[in-house]
A and B are shown apart, each in its own frame.
Chain A
């Protein structure tokens, strides 16, 4: 046990990779075994990751479960892992969603099952690694390689224009990452010139002093890498394609985990490494975020494709999170991090339901759907719960996050926050309207084939209920009782702001402190 606790992060990162090695010798015809074993192993991984939560000390901002070994001494790169309150929950979200999406794919993924489960587990390794890495080069390695399994998942099991979407996703994010790499190399060299040491240790790179003008250029470089991943409004165009064509499991992981990396990158890397640039550019980014909220909402309203609608709603929700993060008050950042988790759970659940409907109706066009509520009461209730959570109904998790974000941002940007608030109303419009059309609409004007499908529409089976149940439970839990989460996120966020405070140019230092005391 002591060994387990000491190297828990390494074990969590590489357990899925070991699971891949276990799965490799199994004959690919033996699909049932492959699926069950992979799902079981991902469940083991999730349970193991729960130990992080148990043993995590909530009263400190310091990184915990630290592991540090030399990796490439010539570059000063080390195998340096550690988590704080933010990465803790993101890792838990990753392990949960991997399990959920593996469980959800029993019906959807029919061919190349072996490749699919292997890629999913491989993806999990790299996702956890990215959240746990505190060495910038290590982070980059995990971050970039993560693209590959996702690219295969979209391209091999996607629908429609899957290859186009997969290649677009890959090239878009790769271009962003490479520009980000330029920024990382630059910071690395500046640190070398100042201290005479090569290091990728994040804690040391935080202390690099970079002239403000240069900081802005470097911030733009890092911004492109992270913003494409988030994605923030003009860089979002890969997202609807990738989400729409990806298989359900891919969409869940993409929306639930991969989009979080952009925000996490800002939180962990871009803002603390380049604090002055972040402070100067924050208002503009908040503006972009607000544009993203409204743009995503408007585009969602007019979508004809159910999955595309959910995908565009992600753009809107991620806009909220960006506003919360760049408002740079303790409350709003807490809210942003909390909303990250909520978005992963809510949108993940929405994609699961969209997938279930697609599996049964073989269409995602909203006009062809309708009348499902009569056929499948369980699905209707659970789907409605997720829709309402995503809309931000009080009592469900989405409300807490959005409320914190808006309250926190109001102190810094009152006008923009008021505009952003309208995004919640629009969310209600597009999501509830979608729900009404898909579930209740009279299916009288439908073409015959889909009528036929509707006749045989079966309700959720036990596996599907088990798939979504953890997410539904979390929606209520996080809506009613957020403090176990916020308690652990809080110290890290406070420390994040204190680090910003150290940089004297912080012109609204007082605002942040008061913002905190009011919370």
Chain B
């Protein structure tokens, strides 16, 4: 017990702490480098920021791989790095990588500074990574805010575009509201248990429930506080996970934001929010203060049902994908409700598959998008199948994956989470989810119908639309960045569907280090 003080305040500790956040630090470093490019007008307009961001993300992935297998804690236990983070860091970094890839040809159509754009994306990625690895209620709040602020800026990044600005404003107001819920919830939790560190809260609750087998009443009358706190906390995170009824911002923000950012929000932010929810859920919610699974059950059913119904009614493809992402969030939640090692690993697997199918679909949307709002109508896609065979085949594949048809990662993910829920006895939930999947197939199929089976009358319209200037098609060629992103997404979606064992092993490894508290 000697020299405790140096251990806490010494250089050693700081060094260790720094190691635990190296992947994030690398991203932040690159974010600043990219940001400084703005000072040099000549460089700023070039492609340097784009390439630098990609390199930064690649470096960060490298560091994650180098650190994998280590169990690190830093900054007095508020940041942890273990197998769970390895999995999610790679997921988030890949999502960021895909976002940057599809951004170049999109953002160059607008008169906005490029380096800032990329640097904010990088900051956003680092915020997500911090969020995933945070192990302290304050840390959760800070990184969530950091992430949200990046997202607000990026949503409204296209200056002078009313839709973009409106979306940003709506997102900001509702998001701030959600943050208020979150911090309020943290306060209540702190009031009930007297700890901020998640592990300490866990230990505290465990001791109490070990001493006395009861529930809310045992916490010296503070059980109600804990319940209220956890409920408010759930609300705060449900905003970010865009679960019904906290989804209201999703369609507008997704629709108005620049499409690469929509993709980023739909993949990165959602994954990060789910990841931290899963961690907190496992550490705190699992003590039956009240039965949270029942609440989540309702949220999951409402999310998927509402998401699917709204998606069927929408004709704007970005809104359609936004609603579909609400429904997907419902499916992912099924895995968390199912619970257990099997369920958590299934949730992680699904999250991973979800990133690629969603990012791929948005990449295709970018190709055919232009300044005309009609370019986002599903009608625009009629007859595209014959003009761009590869892109359309890829889009069809992503749609089938989202619909959960076999040979795609989406099917394996769905199978995984649903069987976990059946294993825990949630038969009705799975039954409803499967009916929802059948129902949802309609609007995914609708896009494929448009692409490959055009009606006689609107094929003429679409051909004109497809000839016009599109963000992703430069001089008749599809931009390489987007092409690469689509190929990456296609590759992962296919591999996860045909030979998922590799990814299951990875998810298992990750879930194991999550469950080993």
Residues of A within 8 A of B (CB): 70-75, 112, 137, 140-142, 144-145, 147-148, 151-152, 155-156, 162-163, 166-167, 170-171, 174-175, 178-179, 181-182, 185-186, 188-189, 192
Q: B419 and A189: CB pair below 8 A? A: yes
Cross-chain pairs A/B with CB under 8 angstroms, 29 sampled:
A72-B499, A72-B500, A72-B504, A74-B501, A140-B406, A141-B406, A141-B407, A142-B406, A144-B405, A145-B405, A145-B406, A145-B407, A147-B405, A155-B452, A163-B449, A167-B449, A170-B441, A171-B441, A174-B405, A179-B435, A181-B418, A181-B434, A182-B422, A185-B418, A185-B422, A186-B427, A189-B422, A189-B423, A192-B423
B:436-452 near A, CB below 8 Å:
437-438, 441-442, 445, 449, 452
Which residue of the partner chain, among B434, B442, B453, B508, contacts A162 with CB atoms under 8 Å?
Answer: B453
| Alpha-carbon separation in the docked complex, A179 to B386 (Å) | 34
Q: B422 and A174: CB pair below 8 A? A: no
Other A-B pairs beyond A151-B445, A163-B449, A178-B434, 4, CB < 8 Å: A72-B504, A155-B449, A167-B449, A185-B419
Q: A182 and B441: CB pair below 8 A? A: no
| Alpha-carbon separation in the docked complex, A45 to B414 (Å) | 34
Q: Which residues of B contact A166 (CB under 8 A)?
A: 449, 453
Q: B434 and A182: CB pair below 8 A? A: yes
Q: Which DSSP category, helix, strand, loop or mixed, fits chain A's interface?
A: helix
Q: Among B386, B427, B453, B500, find the residue whose CB has the most chain A CB atoms closer than 10 A.
A: B453
| Alpha-carbon separation in the docked complex, A174 to B405 (Å) | 9
Q: Which residues of B contact A140 (CB under 8 A)?
A: 406
Q: How close is A208's CB to chain B, nearest CB, in angstroms?
A: 14
| Alpha-carbon separation in the docked complex, A179 to B445 (Å) | 19
B36 interface hit (Cβ, 8 Å): no
Q: How close is A217's CB to chain B, nearest CB, in angstroms?
A: 10
| Alpha-carbon separation in the docked complex, A162 to B407 (Å) | 26
Q: Which residues of A contact B453 (CB under 8 A)?
A: 155-156, 162-163, 166
B355 interface hit (Cβ, 8 Å): no
A148-B405, A152-B452, A166-B453 are contacts. A71–B422 as well, Cβ < 8 Å?
no
Q: B407 and A167: CB pair below 8 A? A: no
Q: B406 and A167: CB pair below 8 A? A: no
B118 interface hit (Cβ, 8 Å): no
B388 interface hit (Cβ, 8 Å): no
Smallest Cβ-Cβ distance to B403: which chain A residue:
A174
Q: Which residues of B contact A163 (CB under 8 A)?
A: 449, 453, 455
| Alpha-carbon separation in the docked complex, A170 to B427 (Å) | 25
Which residue of the partner chain, among A72, A74, A171, contacts B445 with CB atoms under 8 Å?
Answer: A171
Q: How close is B191's CB to chain A, nearest CB, in angstroms?
A: 41
| Alpha-carbon separation in the docked complex, A162 to B452 (Å) | 12
Q: A182 and B430: CB pair below 8 A? A: yes
Q: Which residues of A contact B364 (CB under 8 A)?
A: none
Smallest Cβ-Cβ distance to B425: which chain A residue:
A189
Q: B419 and A188: CB pair below 8 A? A: yes
Q: B452 and A156: CB pair below 8 A? A: yes
Q: How close is B270's CB to chain A, nearest CB, in angstroms?
A: 24
B76 interface hit (Cβ, 8 Å): no
Q: Which residues of A contact B499 (CB under 8 A)?
A: 71-72
Q: Which residues of A contact B455 (CB under 8 A)?
A: 163
Q: How close is B458's CB to chain A, nearest CB, in angstroms?
A: 12
| Alpha-carbon separation in the docked complex, A255 to B504 (Å) | 39
Smallest Cβ-Cβ distance to A167: which chain B residue:
B445
Q: How close is B21's CB to chain A, nearest CB, in angstroms?
A: 32
Q: Among B400, B411, B438, B499, find the residue whose CB has the most chain A CB atoms closer than 10 A.
A: B438
B431 interface hit (Cβ, 8 Å): yes
B146 interface hit (Cβ, 8 Å): no
Q: A72 and B452: CB pair below 8 A? A: no
A152-B452, A189-B419 are contacts. A74–B508 as well, Cβ < 8 Å?
yes
B415 interface hit (Cβ, 8 Å): yes
